[in-house]
Amino acid sequence: MILSYTKKSLPLKKIFRVANSSKSIVNNVFIEIAHGNTIGVGEAAASEFYGENTNTIVSTLKEISKFLPDDPLVIYSIMEFIEQKIRGNYSAKAAVNIALYDLIGKIFDVPVYKVLGLDAASSRIVTSVTIGIDSIDKIRSDVIAVENYPILKVKLGTDIDYEIIECIRGLTSKPIRVDANEGWDKSEAVEKINWLEKQNVELVEQPLLADDLEGMRWVQERVRLPIIADESVRTSRDIPNLLHVFDGINIKLMKCGGISEAIRIIHTAKSFGLLTMIGCFIETSVGITAAAHLSALCDYVDLDGHLFLNEDPYCGVSIDRGMIELPDSPGLGVGTR
Query: Known catalytic residues?
Result: 155, 179, 205, 230, 252
Pairing outcome for strands 335-336 and 314-315: antiparallel
Report yes or no: 332 and 101 within 8 Å, Cβ to Cβ: yes
Torsion over CA: 84, 86, 87, 93 (sign): negative
Q: Catalogue the E-assigned strands of 37-126.
A: 38-45
Q: Comparing C-alpha atoms, which of 279, 192, 293 is closest to residue 230?
A: 279
Instruction: State how far the Cα of 38 lies from the Cα of 20, in Å rounded to an integer.
Output: 41
State the DSSP H helix or E strand holding residue 25, giving kind and residue range, or none if neither.
strand 21-35
Q: Comparing C-alpha atoms, which of 123, 101, 87 is closest to residue 43?
A: 101
Q: Is 109 left (phi over 0), alpha (psi -120 to 50) or beta?
A: left
**DSSP-derived 3-state class of residue 151:** coil
Instruction: State how far the Cα of 333 lies from the Cα of 282, in Å rounded to an integer.
Output: 19
Partners of residue 100 on adjacent β-strands: none
**DSSP-derived 3-state class of residue 122:** helix
Cα distances (angstroms) measured from residue 180 to each of 25, 150, 212, 243, 283: 22, 21, 14, 20, 21
Q: Give DSSP secondary structure letters for 167-219.
A: HHHTT--S-EEEE-TT---HHHHHHHHHHHGGGTEEEEE--S-TT-HHHHHHH
Q: What angle do CA 300, 160, 219 make, to 5 degrees?
A: 55
- DSSP state at residue 57: H
